[in-house]
Chain A
């Protein structure tokens, strides 16, 4: 019968569009090739059929259109394939959607699935959404509740009931109770973004202005070759370095402080020494230069120390910001997405140099503390503790565990041995490795808790550090460990020859890393570093668990508001959107940077 069909078709088809494949061949190749393929197609086909039928019931029109389009394109592609004359479109369809019978089914299934998902989401987010503004809705609800004799405190619990019973109200809120209530987001958008900072937007605008004022000239000065040695570039760099201070002063305000004349002079001496040493370092003569530098820095330190210790000047000024610079309490003022950004930027900026230092430290190969020194010190310490604390502890031990712990000094030689064996006595490498591994080994949330609960115990009594400050530093220190590992990966990927070439050129260690190793290593790990920054950006949401008012915590708070009791989905969707845009744009920037720097092509 199939043979007849083939002949019949070829008879009615024009001569240049003859079928090159018989139906029998087609069935042999695509359906009965193996018994499990047939079985699978049967099962899968049944599933698709059931699903399609269900979809036909829920959205008849859309499903019918999809089905017709699907059938037409499938037939068209199949016909073109059989006659070996592809159109541009059918070629694409064949390669990307209908490459096998299985894929033909998968495509239909996915199209229907996507359509029904999109339809459901649109119904929720747009067609059924309650689009009224908050104050209006609230007034209407209160009026409605008074009418039906409910007290205003009840209505918050019963908004859904109110929606459906009153036609007028239904019209106002869009008659939709199962749709989104975007009013929750709309009413709280400033809260979500800024929280209490929304009362201080002038400061934020001023901060933004500083950045823009610096960024616009930077765009030309850093890009163009003619400014390469210009003083403009130096000045701009210093301004950039100072800008965080200015922005900090703006968003934090200037708290009441006594500025001592002594302190100012000490600071002045150090700054003067810095600029002098910049000048001197361009002079000739290694020994003279070193001596001069030592002299200048020694003098500056002595002057500064004398100023701070003996306090010869009695002049002091009390400073307190006012107006736009009036002091704020960060624990209360900072919040919302603003805090999220602040934490991310601070952690990124601070953790980068720390990460580089830790990565270099972990790989450092400097001569370590000699073994004889380590072992003799460890031995002395062990004997001291064994004779002093151990007998006391053995005597006081109440159980066998404490008895074992009493002999803890025996661990000292073991640690000393490991230290010498693994790190050759290199303190820098040992410390960096230990830091990195410990921080990477524990969850961020425990680090945050530690910084909030445990850290105050380590401080002198009376000293209090703001929660926000502690969180900022916790993030920076945490992120530094991860960054260090990324950078170390880049350093490891630099071929040995680069180090050797730099050494052969006679470059100092600093210059070797500054001009040869680091630029290559950092270029290699840009994707990893940006990935780290993205995860840092996302991880800032964890502060909501420890009670800091970041955007997620503010969003959780909406569900407790009178008007929006238990409304959580909409704020969460808004948050997801914000986070998605932030992370995705960072990722795409990283991809562009990668292309610009030619990672993997050079």
Chain B
């Protein structure tokens, strides 16, 4: 001690150096310097490697090379196809957009997966504690099987060994003729939202509010008077009543607004007829048929070498006119191939409202089309344009009103070589979803079981002694205590599910990571893309883990 105080004896300096704090700080500074040297060594290697590769990684649009342009390539055409897209996607869209489509696919599978895994996991977790020995045992087998084999193996098993070995569409396994499972995925009934839906939706929201109000009012009444009401029953009753009234009202509204609704429907119809034919038979020529019609109707210039007032040559215009003829032939071919007796019904299954009694000219086009009469259709092409203009002019409309419901249910049916109507899951999506859900649910089941078991038995007994009902016991005593144990690991299971969805690559589902991987292979820009991937995943997980830490701090038991 004395030595330390009187300054500069060698012993004092030695012991000052030996002070753990000083040593620690020196070591930390040394560590930082070491990390810096290491990082700059890596970076210099990178620079050297890149210069050796000709700096192709960082080429700008104008041909120069700069680090600033690392991400420029992302705006160029992706060029690859994505099998499953939530939004419209063409190969000429940018890499950014392609990756966004992939991210949406990930979001889709993760959201659905989390919901389903939570439901299944909770059920299995409760089943693990069931009174019935068989239920307990089966639940344990399920959990053991899925927790002790790799997720990737489960995914490839479900996809390759189960889904791809399923029968084809004709022999699809059907459940009550509404759900079909085949090699091409799962087809199931799904809603078609009609133009009247928004009105009904407003009523649903109203119903939820009303149920809340009823609940709160009855509760207040209960607290004041001590009388017991069936709160849940009344709340559900008021909700159902309002939704029911809404259903009728929405259908009525549409009747009174028939002309307006109908106009937009009718305009959509023309687009849909085209898109329908195009989507079915890849007749890409039809895509820009409006443009071609416009071009074909251009006034011809005087001779071959001059332009007309809009800047088109004679060649271009005649080519467009010829294309219309070819397009007509193509449509004719399509009409024969489809072999639809009733196009109206066909469109109906696609979710295009069509059960309408047309009374005026607008009808003519549809009938012509449905009749499959090519000559008439060619003449109709121009007429469609004119009619469309007329439709957009609301003053010119006298359409019959349509009785319509807010939501229809469309059931899948086999039409030709494919399913029509309803919702559809591709085998890739279905396999990924099922694999993720089964695997995560097994883990969640264990978490739920541990959570429920962590509540001491005395709590249950105390609740019974207080005379609480089974529901009250679960809701007011067991769950709040079990949730404290359940929620943190549950959240990390959700995170795991999100991260595990990247295994989609193995079964060719185009999720975020699979699209990025294709982009890497195609563009060769691995550094930039890995940066994007890491940034995306990190921002998601760090935000969730911050949330979790906050929650954890809130519910943790405080020691001393």
Quick check: which of A229-237, A433-441, A469-477 contacts chain B, the rest being far away?
A433-441
Residues of A within 8 A of B541 (CB): 437, 440-442
Q: Assess the B538–A442 pair: CB atoms within 8 A.
A: yes
Among B18, B134, B513, B545, the most chain A Cβ lie within 10 Å of the Cβ of B134
Measured CB to CB, the closest approach of chain B to A545, in angstroms, equals 5
Interface residue A56 (Cβ < 8 Å from any Cβ of B): no
**Distance between Cα atoms of A103 and B35 in the complex (Å):** 64
Residues of B within 8 A of A576 (CB): 149, 153, 157
Residues of B within 8 A of A369 (CB): 25, 28-29, 32
**Distance between Cα atoms of A449 and B506 in the complex (Å):** 13
Interface residue B178 (Cβ < 8 Å from any Cβ of A): no
Q: Assess the A396–B68 pair: CB atoms within 8 A.
A: yes
Interface residue B547 (Cβ < 8 Å from any Cβ of A): no
Interface residue A453 (Cβ < 8 Å from any Cβ of B): yes
Measured CB to CB, the closest approach of chain A to B557, in angstroms, equals 12
Pick from B45, B152, B499, B505: contact of A458, CB below 8 A.
Answer: B45
Q: Assess the B505–A445 pair: CB atoms within 8 A.
A: yes
Quick check: which of A12-20, A107-115, A299-307 contacts chain B, the rest being far away?
A107-115
Within 8 A of A (CB), among B134-151: 134-135, 138, 144-145, 147-151
**Distance between Cα atoms of A580 and B145 in the complex (Å):** 7
Q: Assess the A427–B134 pair: CB atoms within 8 A.
A: no
Pick from B68, B134, B150: contact of A579, CB below 8 A.
Answer: B150
Measured CB to CB, the closest approach of chain A to B533, in angstroms, equals 6
Interface residue B380 (Cβ < 8 Å from any Cβ of A): no
Within 8 A of B (CB), among A355-406: 366-370, 393, 396, 398, 402
Q: Assess the B513–A539 pair: CB atoms within 8 A.
A: no
**Distance between Cα atoms of A383 and B49 in the complex (Å):** 31
Residues of A within 8 A of B28 (CB): 366, 368-369, 426-428
Measured CB to CB, the closest approach of chain B to A164, in angstroms, equals 18
Q: Assess the B153–A575 pair: CB atoms within 8 A.
A: yes
Interface residue A153 (Cβ < 8 Å from any Cβ of B): no
Q: Assess the A442–B153 pair: CB atoms within 8 A.
A: no
Interface residue B257 (Cβ < 8 Å from any Cβ of A): no
Within 8 A of A (CB), among B34-71: 35, 42, 45-46, 48-50, 52, 66, 68
Q: Assess the B132–A99 pair: CB atoms within 8 A.
A: yes
Q: Assess the B156–A460 pair: CB atoms within 8 A.
A: no
Interface residue B403 (Cβ < 8 Å from any Cβ of A): no
Measured CB to CB, the closest approach of chain B to A81, in angstroms, equals 15
**Distance between Cα atoms of A398 and B75 in the complex (Å):** 14
Measured CB to CB, the closest approach of chain A to B466, in angstroms, equals 22
Instruction: Using A114-B138, A541-B152 as known contacts, say yes or no to A99 and B131 having CB atoms under 8 A apart.
Output: yes
Interface residue A137 (Cβ < 8 Å from any Cβ of B): no
Interface residue A127 (Cβ < 8 Å from any Cβ of B): no
**Distance between Cα atoms of A446 and B532 in the complex (Å):** 11
Q: Assess the A106–B134 pair: CB atoms within 8 A.
A: yes
**Distance between Cα atoms of A584 and B18 in the complex (Å):** 50
Measured CB to CB, the closest approach of chain B to A432, in angstroms, equals 11
Interface residue B307 (Cβ < 8 Å from any Cβ of A): no
**Distance between Cα atoms of A444 and B157 in the complex (Å):** 20
A537: nearest chain-B partner, CB-CB = B150
Measured CB to CB, the closest approach of chain B to A57, in angstroms, equals 18
Within 8 A of A (CB), among B285-332: none
Instruction: Using A443-B513, A454-B526, A583-B149 as known contacts, say yes or no to A111 and B156 having CB atoms under 8 A apart.
Output: no
Residues of A within 8 A of B1 (CB): none
Instruction: Using A367-B21, A428-B28, A572-B156 as known contacts, say yes or no to A111 and B161 having CB atoms under 8 A apart.
Output: no
Instruction: Using A446-B502, A454-B527, A587-B148 as known contacts, say yes or no to A367 and B25 having CB atoms under 8 A apart.
Output: yes
Among B42, B45, B148, B513, the most chain A Cβ lie within 10 Å of the Cβ of B148
B49: nearest chain-A partner, CB-CB = A457
Interface residue A141 (Cβ < 8 Å from any Cβ of B): no
Residues of A within 8 A of B31 (CB): 427-428, 431
Q: Assess the B526–A438 pair: CB atoms within 8 A.
A: no
Q: Assess the A583–B148 pair: CB atoms within 8 A.
A: yes
Q: Assess the A579–B156 pair: CB atoms within 8 A.
A: no
Among B21, B24, B29, B32, the most chain A Cβ lie within 10 Å of the Cβ of B24
Pick from A287, A428, A444, A446: contact of B534, CB below 8 A.
Answer: A446
Q: Assess the A460–B25 pair: CB atoms within 8 A.
A: no
Interface residue B357 (Cβ < 8 Å from any Cβ of A): no
Q: Assess the B157–A457 pair: CB atoms within 8 A.
A: no
B155: nearest chain-A partner, CB-CB = A541
Q: Assess the B534–A442 pair: CB atoms within 8 A.
A: yes
Residues of A within 8 A of B144 (CB): 580, 584
Interface residue A544 (Cβ < 8 Å from any Cβ of B): yes
**Distance between Cα atoms of A371 and B370 in the complex (Å):** 80
**Distance between Cα atoms of A74 and B511 in the complex (Å):** 52
Pick from B52, B66, B500: contact of A443, CB below 8 A.
Answer: B500
Residues of B within 8 A of A446 (CB): 502, 513, 530, 533-534, 537
**Distance between Cα atoms of A496 and B559 in the complex (Å):** 9
Interface residue B236 (Cβ < 8 Å from any Cβ of A): no
Interface residue A569 (Cβ < 8 Å from any Cβ of B): yes
B520: nearest chain-A partner, CB-CB = A453
A438: nearest chain-B partner, CB-CB = B538
**Distance between Cα atoms of A545 and B500 in the complex (Å):** 13
Interface residue A224 (Cβ < 8 Å from any Cβ of B): no
Q: Assess the A441–B537 pair: CB atoms within 8 A.
A: yes
**Distance between Cα atoms of A148 and B25 in the complex (Å):** 84
Residues of B within 8 A of A496 (CB): 559-560
Interface residue A52 (Cβ < 8 Å from any Cβ of B): no
Interface residue A97 (Cβ < 8 Å from any Cβ of B): yes
Instruction: Using A427-B28, A461-B45 as known contacts, say yes or no to A538 and B149 having CB atoms under 8 A apart.
Output: yes
Q: Assess the B503–A442 pair: CB atoms within 8 A.
A: no
Instruction: Using A366-B21, A445-B502 as known contacts, say yes or no to A103 and B132 having CB atoms under 8 A apart.
Output: yes
Interface residue B187 (Cβ < 8 Å from any Cβ of A): no
Measured CB to CB, the closest approach of chain A to B66, in angstroms, equals 8
Interface residue B191 (Cβ < 8 Å from any Cβ of A): no
**Distance between Cα atoms of A397 and B506 in the complex (Å):** 40
Within 8 A of B (CB), among A526-547: 534, 538-542, 544-545
Q: Assess the B533–A552 pair: CB atoms within 8 A.
A: no
Interface residue B165 (Cβ < 8 Å from any Cβ of A): yes
Contact with B along A187-206 (1 / 0, CB 8 A): 00000000000000000000
Interface residue A523 (Cβ < 8 Å from any Cβ of B): no
Contact with B along A256-272 (1 / 0, CB 8 A): 00000000000000000
**Distance between Cα atoms of A509 and B14 in the complex (Å):** 20
Measured CB to CB, the closest approach of chain A to B428, in angstroms, equals 15
Q: Assess the B513–A96 pair: CB atoms within 8 A.
A: no
**Distance between Cα atoms of A326 and B130 in the complex (Å):** 59
Measured CB to CB, the closest approach of chain A to B141, in angstroms, equals 9
B52: nearest chain-A partner, CB-CB = A461
Pick from A426, A534, A542: contact of B503, CB below 8 A.
Answer: A542
A459: nearest chain-B partner, CB-CB = B45
**Distance between Cα atoms of A234 and B109 in the complex (Å):** 55
Residues of A within 8 A of B157 (CB): 568-569, 572, 576
Among B144, B165, B506, B560, the most chain A Cβ lie within 10 Å of the Cβ of B506
Q: Assess the B503–A445 pair: CB atoms within 8 A.
A: yes
Q: Assess the A579–B153 pair: CB atoms within 8 A.
A: yes
Pick from B29, B148, B499: contact of A584, CB below 8 A.
Answer: B148
Q: Assess the B527–A457 pair: CB atoms within 8 A.
A: yes
Pick from B52, B135, B499, B534: contact of A106, CB below 8 A.
Answer: B135
Measured CB to CB, the closest approach of chain B to A488, in angstroms, equals 13
Pick from A290, A427, A450: contact of B32, CB below 8 A.
Answer: A427
Q: Which 9 A-B pairs have the closest CB atoms?
A: A96-B133, A441-B541, A583-B148, A538-B150, A443-B499, A427-B28, A541-B150, A569-B161, A443-B502
Give 20 CB contacts A-B under 8 Å: A366-B20, A370-B25, A396-B66, A396-B68, A426-B28, A427-B32, A442-B533, A446-B530, A453-B520, A453-B530, A456-B49, A460-B45, A509-B20, A544-B152, A552-B152, A572-B153, A572-B160, A579-B149, A579-B150, A580-B148
Apart from A95-B131, A580-B148: 14 A-B pairs, beta carbons within 8 A: A103-B132, A110-B135, A396-B66, A396-B68, A402-B68, A427-B32, A431-B35, A442-B499, A442-B534, A456-B49, A544-B152, A545-B505, A572-B161, A580-B145
